[in-house]
Amino acid sequence: MANRSPAPVRQMVAAGAVAAGSPADAAAQADVVLVTVSDDDASEAVWLDPRTGVLAGAVPGTLAIEAGTLSPGWVAKLATTAAEAGLRFLEAPMIGSRPQVEARALVHLVGGPPEVLADARGVLEESAARIHHVGAYGSAAALKLLVNASLATQVATMAELLGVARRAGLDPAESVRFLADLPVTSPAAARALGVMAAGDFAPNFPVRLVAKDLRYLTAFAEEHAGETPMSRTALACYQRAGALGHADDDLTAVAAAYR
């Protein structure tokens, strides 16, 4: 295995993994390569760096999976480049975070050829409860951005409502209990309310990555003449929370924008 940060490598080696000096070195020793990084720039570096990237080490026929939340345009470009190098490529962004990883309860959205998914299914099932093949390259990336935008707007809305309640002098604990128990409140929004009330913003989905996903979504929508006023408003909220020092905190720290 290889990682851009040394601490996770040490943890994995302690658990029995074999460390490699670079993605290229790791790919040269593997039949399956799975990459999960935070954004397009990191993905490009890990896959395409001419000296250390996956494509510099992987042999033709390698099963190559990109599981990060990236822009659809970049994923489509990466898929073309990987295919030209002879790799069997899939995009498989994950729905879920640390608790779902630990419970092997992730959902994978998959874009790419069905026959490649058939070969990759066993790998993905190691961490996933459900696997959905959603179409051609880029389609899974697009759907993942929609999923994350839905979560981000819900959480920002709950933060806003709690901010109004607090400023109006309403009991915060009672407001949380009431809002979380409504039939119109999703389970994700209800969980976010509880985290906001507790004030424990240990990151599962950091504010800076929420903002990144909303930027990717709004840009993708523009490419297709789509309107995204709600997502743009949510993006401004998360950017404000980041500017207040919460960029690396959980997305529920968007509540700081409403204090």
Distances (CA, A) of 218 to 30, 93, 232: 36, 18, 7
CATH of the domain at 23: 3.40.50.720
Asked whether residue 131 falls in the same domain as residue 150, the answer is no
Asked whether residue 156 falls in the same domain as residue 49, the answer is no
Nearest to 105 by CA among 113, 114, 96, 117: 96
Asked whether residue 47 falls in the same domain as residue 160, the answer is no
Asked whether residue 113 falls in the same domain as residue 20, the answer is yes
From the CA atom positions of the chain, what is the Rg in Å?
20
Quote the pTM value.
0.93
Listed residues 101, 136, 171: the one ending a domain: 136
Asked whether residue 132 falls in the same domain as residue 152, the answer is no
Do the strands 63-66 and 32-35 form a parallel or antiparallel pair, or are they unpaired? parallel
**The token pair that represents 220 in the structure block:** 């993708």
Asked whether residue 173 falls in the same domain as residue 90, the answer is no
Report the chain's terminal Cα–Cα distance, integer Å.
Answer: 43
Is the CB of residue 250 less than 8 Å from the CB of residue 238?
no
Asked whether residue 119 falls in the same domain as residue 11, the answer is yes
- Give a three-class secondary structure readout of 184-214: CCCHHHHHHHHHHHHCCCCCCCEHHHHHHHH
Task: Using the structure block, give the residue that is written with the tokens 């951005």.
Answer: 145
Q: What is the pLDDT of residue 101?
A: 86
Nearest to 131 by CA among 38, 41, 65, 194: 65
Distance of CA 145 to the CA centre of its chain: 8
The total number of structural domains in the chain stands at 2
Listed residues 136, 154, 177: the one ending a domain: 136
Asked whether residue 131 falls in the same domain as residue 174, the answer is no
Nearest to 67 by CA among 92, 90, 37, 104: 92
Distances (CA, A) of 243 to 157, 204, 208: 19, 19, 10
User: Is 95 a member of any domain?
Assistant: yes
**The token pair that represents 5 in the structure block:** 């940060």
Q: What is the pLDDT of residue 125?
A: 95
Q: Catalytic residue numbers?
A: 144
User: Is 56 a member of any domain?
Assistant: yes
Is the CB of residue 51 less than 8 Å from the CB of residue 85?
no
Q: List, in order, residues 6 or more apart from 211 with CB less than 8 Å away.
A: 235, 238, 239, 242
Asked whether residue 112 falls in the same domain as residue 151, the answer is no
Listed residues 136, 163, 184: the one ending a domain: 136
Domain that holds residue 249: 142-258
User: Is 242 a member of any domain?
Assistant: yes
The pLDDT tens digits along the chain (259 residues) read: 566 666 666 666 666 667 778 999 999 999 999 999 999 999 999 999 999 999 999 999 999 999 999 999 999 999 999 999 999 999 999 999 888 888 999 999 999 999 999 999 999 999 999 999 999 999 999 999 999 999 999 999 999 999 999 999 999 899 999 999 999 999 999 999 999 999 999 999 999 999 999 999 999 999 999 999 999 999 999 999 999 999 999 999 999 999 8
Asked whether residue 110 falls in the same domain as residue 15, the answer is yes
Q: What is the pLDDT of residue 53?
A: 98
Asked whether residue 10 falls in the same domain as residue 129, the answer is yes
Asked whether residue 210 falls in the same domain as residue 127, the answer is no
Task: Say how many C-beta atoms besides its own lie within 10 A of residue 136's C-beta.
Answer: 12
User: Is 201 a member of any domain?
Assistant: yes
User: Is 1 a member of any domain?
Assistant: no
CATH of the domain at 194: 1.10.1040.10
Distance of CA 202 to the CA centre of its chain: 16
